[in-house]
Amino acid sequence: MYSHPGVKTSADFPIPDTMKAWVLGNPGELTLTEKPVPVPKKGEVLVRIDAVAICATDLDNIYHGPPAMIQGGLPFNKNWTPGHEYMGTVVALGPGVDEFGIGQRVAVEIHAGCGQCKRCRQGMYTSCLNYGLNYGDVDKGHRANGFTTDGGFCEYQVNHVNTLVAVSDEMSDEEATLVVTAGTAMYGLTELGGLIAGESVAVIGPGPIGLLCVAVAKALGAQPVILTGTRDNRLQIGRELGADHVINVRNEPDVVAAVRKLGGGRGVDYVVECSGAANAINDALHMVNRGGKVCLAAFPHEQVPVDVAHIVRNNIYVYGIRGEGRSATHRAEAFMRQKRFDATKIHTHTFALADLPEALRYAKDRIDDAIKVVVKRDYRPGAQRAAAA
């Protein structure tokens, strides 16, 4: 059984020497195979992965794959395990670790910065200047599980203690997988304004991050919170998460004018763009008031012309965020622990880890209007939750 020098384990949590893991071959080609269970080093723990949520960037990696362009030869990085929005149970401690205990439930952030560069020392570890330099060499600087190193579509994974967020035992596994998504929403709002009580916020795009942006903004005291999108059922979830106004852009000929009107005629204080649509960036710039702030939280798939003159004339601030920096995930978990909002409203489907290809199909094709699809280590088919109406 699993035993390594300097690594603390417990008989209460037996660990095998090998584990089931999904690995990537050609584009979209995943195979369930056996891998050695990784070994935590100094400052690291081994996490038994209990549940993983599927993110749109997982789909990008699996079908288009940035890691494939750097390691393993074209077209894809062979034998690499994707997946990054996971939670689980600490089952082994690397040398010197006493910040967490064996048996503790945790959610896991994606990024562990190098801890040495200028950005990491500013708390901006998702913008680590050593990002991407550690393909094939996990001791070299930054690591991002599910991006630059093996991720969570497996049974066990090693994580640095800096990436761990303790979760309440009252929180379900499915809800705990959403802590990172809520952390991304919190990070965007933190960068825009910090404490935003009384400020007006518009959110473009009712995907998982957009919906939780609504929830976090409302929990921070924003007034009003406006959500725009194309699907009435998702806009309804936005209402349930705290949106004061929702706008279906298919039914509104001038969504910018509608948002500006709801913002008192001059636009809103903050806009968070979560759709990735080509026209959404300029819409956001024209929704915000003079001196306002725009956060870009989505990844457009092509270069987008931007009205720079409008930005300059109106003293608009534009921020791009990646992931869940500045420990925003800890603050998001605190809100969820206090039941300030119900993140489970965006969880629509659950599958067993063995059924990952089907889970990915639901997420990719939005079958049954899937929003957040979760795969679980111990899930038994037949208990699948219905999609949001």
Host H or E run for residue 238:
helix 232-240
DSSP 313-369: HTT-EEEE--SSTTTHHHHHHHHHHTTSS-GGGGEEEEEEGGGHHHHHHHHHHTGGG
pLDDT at 160: 93
Q: What is the pLDDT of residues 219-266, one digit of tens each?
A: 999 999 999 999 999 999 999 999 999 999 999 999 999 999 999 999
Per-residue pLDDT reduced to its tens digit, 270-301: 999 999 999 999 999 999 999 999 999 998 88
At 139 the pLDDT is: 65
Res 378: pLDDT = 84
Give the position of tokens 């006493």.
98
Q: Is the pLDDT of residue 72 over 70?
A: no
Residues 6+ positions from 284 with CB-CB distance below 8 Å: 202, 204, 271, 273, 294, 296
Q: Does the pLDDT of residue 315 top 60, yes or no? A: yes
Rounded to whole angstroms, the Cα distance separating 283 from 285 reads 5
pLDDT digits (tens, 9 = 90+) for 82-133: 999 999 999 999 999 999 999 999 999 998 888 889 999 998 888 888 887 6
Instruction: Evaluate the CA torsion angle 384, 350, 206, 192 in order and state its sign.
Output: positive
Quick one: which of 316, 338, 325 has its CA closest to 268?
A: 316
Which two structure tokens, joined as six digits, stand for 60?
A: 């990008």
Residue 297 identity (one-letter amino acid): A
pLDDT score for 385? 42
Cis peptide before 208 (omega within 30 of 0): no
Question: Is 115 or 358 the better-scoring residue by pLDDT?
Answer: 358
Q: Which helix (H) or strand (E) holds 166?
A: strand 164-166
3-state secondary structure of 175: helix
Mean pLDDT of 133-142: 62
Give the residue-averaged pLDDT of 48-58. 95
β-strand pairing of 201-204 with 268-273: parallel
CATH topology for 184-320 is Rossmann fold (3.40.50)
At 264 the pLDDT is 93
> What is the CB neighbour count within 10 angstroms for residue 256?
18
Q: What is the mean pLDDT of residues 49-69?
A: 82
DSSP 127: G
Confirm whether 18-110+145-166+342-376 and 184-320 share one CATH topology: no
DSSP-assigned letters across all residues of 30-69 = EEEEEEEPP---TTEEEEEEEEEE--HHHHHHHHT-GGGG
Report whether 24 contacts 80 (CB < 8 A).
Answer: yes
Domain spanning 18-110+145-166+342-376: CATH superfamily: Medium-chain alcohol dehydrogenases, catalytic domain (3.90.180.10)
In this structure, are residues 8 and 102 in contact, taking their beta carbons and an 8 Å threshold? yes
Instruction: Please report the pLDDT score of residue 140 as a whole number.
Output: 62
DSSP label at residue 247: E
- Domain spans of the chain, in order of start: 18-110+145-166+342-376, 184-320
Q: What is the mean pLDDT of the chain?
A: 90
Q: Tell whether the torsion through CA atoms of 71, 72, 75 and 77 is positive or negative.
A: negative
What's the pLDDT tens digit per position in 167-200?
999 999 999 999 999 999 999 998 888 778 999 9
pLDDT band at 334 (very low <50, low <70, confident <90, very high): very high
pLDDT higher than 90, residue 70: no
Q: What predicted TM-score, i.e. pTM, was given to this entire model?
A: 0.91
pLDDT at 380: 73
Whether residue 136 is predicted with pLDDT greater than 60 in this model: the reply is: no
Question: If we measure between CA atoms, which residue out of 302, 295, 291, 254 comes closest to residue 274?
Answer: 295
The closest of 19, 14, 155, 20 to 92, measured between CA atoms, is 14
- Give 112 or 387, the one with higher predicted confidence: 112
Which residue carries 């903050």 as its tokens? 270
Over residues 331-342, the mean pLDDT reads 96
